[in-house]
Amino acid sequence: MGGRLAEKVVLITGAAGGLGRAMAHLFAAEGARLILTDMGADRLDALKADLARDGHDRVMVMEQDVTDEARWEEVVDAGVAEFGRLDVLINNAGIGYMADLEETTLAEWKRVHAVNSEGPFLGTRKAIKVMKGTGGGSIVNISSIAGLIGAVNLAAYCSSKGAVRLFTKAAALHCARRGYNIRVNSVHPSFTETPMVRDMITAARNPDKMEAALSTAAPMGRMGRPEEVAYAALYLASDESSFVTGTELAVDGGNTAA
């Protein structure tokens, strides 16, 4: 099978969500063998069925809580047992949390960081252990423009995504200096048409006003589309980016250029 990811084994966390689904379909079309994880067997089974209908059957799915250290061992080891190796890890699983800073509880702060920053740490650490013995690979951490600039009522989310940005750079240097041939990069989407963003709009005091604000936040005058983020991740996952590591790729319609 040809394609930009021909025969590469790719693990995507949060695969049943908006960005995860887009990446799963795009990567499968580009020849990847997929290990897809998320919370909820029903959503994963539905995604696997969708991929099968499109002719993509080299797919395994597993439920995963990315904050569970032991589960990372099980997921990666099962994927390697099935496909023989791991070439790409997409740390995509994440949660949003909108609240006034003064009303943010420590419990919510810890929950957001557990998923958004501890999850990528656990996944990256495990992936490095596997990839360094099989010639290298690519790790792509899905952060956010909220990891580049601040945002009102998103203190916990900004902090967690900012942590992902600098963790990515530290991991990239770690791998490069040791000659592992493992590249580590981050992708920073702006507001994108995903279920998580849609939930944030619905929960707002004035959903119509919130949707209008998100749609016009970027100079290009609209929210992003999941496939636009997926193509950015595809570039970093592929051999086309073989000299790119420790970088951040903003997919934001110009939001952070202002």
- pTM of the shown model: 0.94
CA 153 – CA 98 distance, rounded (Å): 5
CA 243 – CA 230 distance, rounded (Å): 20
Find where tokens 């690519």 sit: 138
pLDDT tens string 169-188: 999 999 999 999 999 999 99
Q: Average per-residue pLDDT in the chain?
A: 95
Evaluate whether 38 touches 75 at the Cβ level (below 8 Å). Answer: no
Residues 86, 65, single domain; the answer is: yes
Give the SS3 label for residue 40: coil
Residues 149, 215, single domain; the answer is: no
Domain that holds residue 197: 192-223
pLDDT for residue 21 is more than 90? yes
Residues 214, 99, single domain; the answer is: no
Instruction: Return the active site residues.
Output: 157
Please give the pLDDT value at position 212. 84
Residues 51, 81, single domain; the answer is: yes
Element (H, E) at 174: helix 155-177
Please give the pLDDT value at position 206. 87
Please give the pLDDT value at position 228. 97
